[in-house]
Chains A and B, each alone.
Chain A
Amino acid sequence: MGRTLAEKVWDQHVVRHGEGQEPDLLYIDLHLVHEVTSPQAFDGLRLAGRPVRRTDLTVATEDHNVPTRDLHLPIADETSATQVSTLRRNCEEFGVRLFPMGTENQGIVHMIGPEQGLTQPGTTVVCGDSHTSTHGAFGALAFGIGTSEVEHVLATQTLPLRPFRTMAIEISGSLRPGVTSKDVILAVIAQIGTGGGAGYVLEYRGEAVREMTMEARMTMCNMSIEAGGRAGMIAPDETTFEYLMGRPHAPQGEQWDEAVAAWRELRTDDDAEFDTVVHVDADALTPFVTWGTNPGQGLPLGESVPDPATMDDDAAAATRKALQYMALEPGTRLRDIAVDVVFLGSCTNARIEDLRAAAGVLRGHHVADDVQMLVVPGSMHVKAQAEAEGLDTVFTEAGAEWRSAGCSMCLGMNPDQLAPGQRCASTSNRNFEGRQGKGGRTHLVSPLVAAATAVRGTLSSPEDLTPAVATV
């Protein structure tokens, strides 16, 4: 029988098959490191007198804690500053390459791998961050790990792992204008639930996926973890190769040809079988937003806040709790929900294409008077590119704040946080209670919906604007 993409990449990385109850030992091609989940791992190495086995397969960046303005000043929050300085000290001591805040290659950890051409098809990629699933867009087997595993990879460049099950997400048809890969993944999570992907590697397949850019594919793979999946993957194709060609760490010359030949083999065989198959009709999708406190609690923008009275006991209890936190009444049209803040950023939706899409909506419009809009590019490269294209001017002229790169208000470890009770339309990945700041309320949206919402002040799509904005 044939093999799935995930199984092929797995097979290529088995260092040693486990005996009896032991798991297989898997080789890790790329280890991405940031300041939050690594200090205790480096401490562990120090205590045991162990070096980093492969500094040449490891790279670090500063992202979760970094401020997004006044970068010339020291980090005001003492504990954030300590975490960043600890990473710098650890990288120097152990010989790990670091992209420090403010420098040209710095950015969110899941931005820098693809930008640098380090994330390549058929590689295994890990990071002490659950959104490592992003890198699966290249046909890499990429997943988040905890700090003990970070230490394990630093010391051995391997991880003991049990094979995952495989789930195909078959997305047939084509997305309509104004509908993005963010809407697809929110719809998928609403369909299978936040635990639906538990134990699985999700492979996104079908016509709509083939038509997506790398940026769009990354958005979708990024949120695989929100469906409980360990990883998300997409088979590499010409779009992938074109994105990688010429990047700083992509193969060159003869090695490029060898690499592409190997990458072309990385697709699920026609006779391979997935453990589970989920079908999504791309043609039927419309912009999707969340109303609750987990990413599975979402609906098309045209719908209304659900009524727990129509649900079974478990779902009703969870819905009541979510609606209470979100301060929403059943039956309220989602389009009537007013927001205080719009956040365009995060490893989910802060790539150049996301910024272009949002700027396209904002051009000729202005952010509503009582709304604050924060635009935080995912990396310094995206920031530079956006500025070269004049997008920063579009944002600032529309009344949005143009910031520097980092995780920012996705999780509020830096000063960018919601105040208690504030409501935010956010292009990030998690609408958990307090995620963007204690007491803050989050609605997950696409960059197009974020921009239109900023203009109207209520959850909106570009077609709600006057004059309506056509989206491609």
Chain B
Amino acid sequence: MEKFSTHTGIGTPLRVSNVDTDQIIPAVYLKRVTRTGFEDGLFASWRTDPAFVLNVEPFSRGSVLVAGSDFGTGSSREHAVWALMDYGFRVVISSRFGEIFKGNSSKAGLLAATVEQSDVELLWKKIEERPGLELTVDLEAKTVTADDLVVGFTVDDYTRWRLLEGLDDIGLTLRHADAIDAYESTRPAHKPVTI
């Protein structure tokens, strides 16, 4: 995974709450067996509307998505994270995320930054007043800067550390292979097996 420390890019306002992962990428776009190439599926239904924010310059070139509350609810599809990243987003800001989406983001290297709803409103105002305004997201300091506005965000410490260091989860876990072996030796005999 690529290291993430700070990121600066155009802010894209998405004034919609309850954006489920079916909206982020509809199921018909999930059929690829590779990990890349999902950008065309991103918000595919909404992008047929010329007024949708990703069809509006310069928001279409954004890399920091500022979304309404409960972003990424529903299906567990990690393709939603890949589609956002393939399109060019590195950060999504919302006051609350779907749990699985948040976990998936942390694995794939997309920063899901939780910001108070009142601050989301301030960010929307800023980037709509000055379309093309670049936001700077500092993971070390846990802040989002938009011109003279600085708001804090939360992200759990472990995710933050892994993103800052660019660490692979599986590699970290396999350092504890002996603990897994030890646990397995104590599992009750009545536990199910699939074969």
Contact = CB atoms under 8 A, between A and B. Distances in A.
B81 interface: yes
Given A156-B174, A158-B173, A434-B26, A198 B17 contact: no
Interface string B160-195: 010000000110111011011001100111111111
Contact of B22 (A40, A58, A195, A435): A435
A413 B45 CA distance: 15
A82 B33 contact: yes
A149 interface: yes
B27 interface: yes
B148 interface: no
A412 B192 contact: no
Contact of B31 (A83, A120, A147): A83
Nearest to B33: A39
B73 interface: yes
Interface residues of A, number: 83
A318 B26 contact: no
Given A249-B192, A433-B22, A37 B76 contact: yes
Contacts of B179: 15-16, 25
Range for the number of chain B residues in contact with chain A:
35 or more
A130 B75 contact: yes
B168 to A, nearest CB: 9
Interface stretch (B53-61, B102-110, B128-136): B102-110
B195 A55 contact: yes
Given A16-B179, A117-B192, A118-B192, A194 B33 contact: no
A16 B181 CA distance: 11
Contact of A149 (B34, B103, B172, B191): B103
A465 interface: no
Interface stretch (A235-243, A255-263, A281-289, A454-462): A255-263
A194 B98 CA distance: 9
B70 interface: yes
B79 to A, nearest CB: 8
B45 A438 contact: yes
B114 to A, nearest CB: 11
A320 interface: no
Contact of A412 (B28, B74, B169): B28
Contacts of B45: 433-434, 438
Contact of A56 (B100, B169, B194): B194
Contacts of B103: 145-146, 149
Given A130-B75, A144-B100, A228-B99, A59 B190 contact: no
A388 B22 CA distance: 37
**Of listed A128, A148, A225, residue having the most chain B CB within 10 A:** A148
Nearest to B96: A195
A166 B100 CA distance: 17
Contacts of A37: 76-78
A36 interface: yes
A22 B158 contact: yes
B72 to A, nearest CB: 11
Nearest to B32: A79
B76 A118 contact: no
A151 B69 CA distance: 29
A123 interface: yes
B170 to A, nearest CB: 5
A22 to B, nearest CB: 6
Contacts of B161: 21
B176 A16 contact: yes
Given A27-B184, A29-B191, A318-B18, 7 more contacts: A30-B194, A57-B194, A65-B31, A80-B31, A146-B103, A146-B108, A148-B104
Interface of A: 15-16, 18, 21-23, 25, 27, 29-30, 36-37, 39-40, 43, 48, 50, 55-59, 64-65, 77, 79-80, 82-83, 86, 97, 117-120, 123, 128-130, 132, 144-149, 151-152, 155-158, 160, 162, 194-195, 198-199, 225-226, 228, 230, 249-251, 255-256, 258-259, 262, 294, 314, 318, 321, 411-413, 430, 432-435, 438
Interface of B: 16-18, 20, 22-23, 26-28, 30-35, 45, 69-70, 73-79, 81, 96, 98-100, 103-104, 107-108, 156-158, 161, 169-170, 172-174, 176-177, 179-180, 183-184, 187-195
